[in-house]
Structure 1
Amino acid sequence: MRTESQALADLGDLPLIDLASGGDLEAFDVLVARFGPRLHGYARRMLSDECAVQEVVQDSFVAAWRGLGTFRRDSSVQTWLFAICSRKITDAYRKRAPLPIGDDIDDHTAVSTLGLPYPSVSGGAFVDALEASLATLPPRQRAAWLLREVEGMAYQEIGEVLTLGAGAARGHYTRARGALRESMRSWQ
């Protein structure tokens, strides 16, 4: 016998939005569980401070909850949530203060920003070099690359997330890819 939570988990994104719009907290919890890790990964790659990352993801879901009635269905739920998160990341950049470098800078026991286990894979020099190269990209280029390569979004979706046209999103992605190719040349 299936529980109500299992039945909710089997629903698509739009029916969950409909239920959550009606005040169903469990339906919204399913959306948080479904998209939370991906939003966290995206924010983690865009921001260097884990506290800011957690705040951005939390603020994104609060804004989504408050904005359920404004979801227009002209984009996917994924695109809508990533767009909210992208705006919250921009807000975090505006209020960001320099962070002191601590003793934990080389802590490879932490969760990898690429979703890989540090001890066995991410401690490698290639991943470190890639993450360092990503960090040097301008925010929109980094976001376009991450949304395309990690999240598998189409240029149209990336444009919606970053409030750009599909062509501009493609341009940011192309410039990011070129910059990464150049900075990672020693790995080719």
Structure 2
Amino acid sequence: MNYPRTVLTTCAWMMFFGVSSFAAAQTAPIKQDDARNPYGRIHFNNDKGEEKCTLAIPATSQIFNFGASNQYCENNMVSTFWLENIPSATLIQFYENESCSDAKTDDNFFFKLKTVKQPTEWSSATMSIDELRRSSAGELIPKKNTRVEDAHVGSYFATRNLNERLSCVYIERSQPVN
């Protein structure tokens, strides 16, 4: 047996698998690390009530484009959501389009929400994206400790269900005053 050749072959295989694992990790979807997040989470379910994904509230702000291949949440797959342990004054914005656009056009919808209690906790009581269409700017969502900052539902969506059309979420956590 040729010992140096065996060692060289083994090292080559280990390097190949190491590089392959690294490459796979770089293209895998971003899964939110819920256990280490002190700022709470938004849970999303599909039409069947199955949890599809969660978004950890960022330390400052973050855009989650569900159409991007590296996102944990899938585009146009969520229907309901609930909030868990989210700080007061956190801005949560839901958009139909992948660019998180505020355009008040016929073919767009968005909802901008802000939590008003420390912490905002819905205890698994979900709300559908479509239910948000009944809310007006400045209105407090009953029993949710969440205020609607702004809302728009374009005429294209006037009679269409808004569930499973969510493509982008923007979250901005209120920063403590020092």
TM-score tier, shorter chain, comes to under 0.3
Larger Rg: 2
**Counting helix residues as a fraction of each chain, which structure ranks higher?**
1
TM-score (norm 2): 0.25
TM-score (norm 1): 0.24
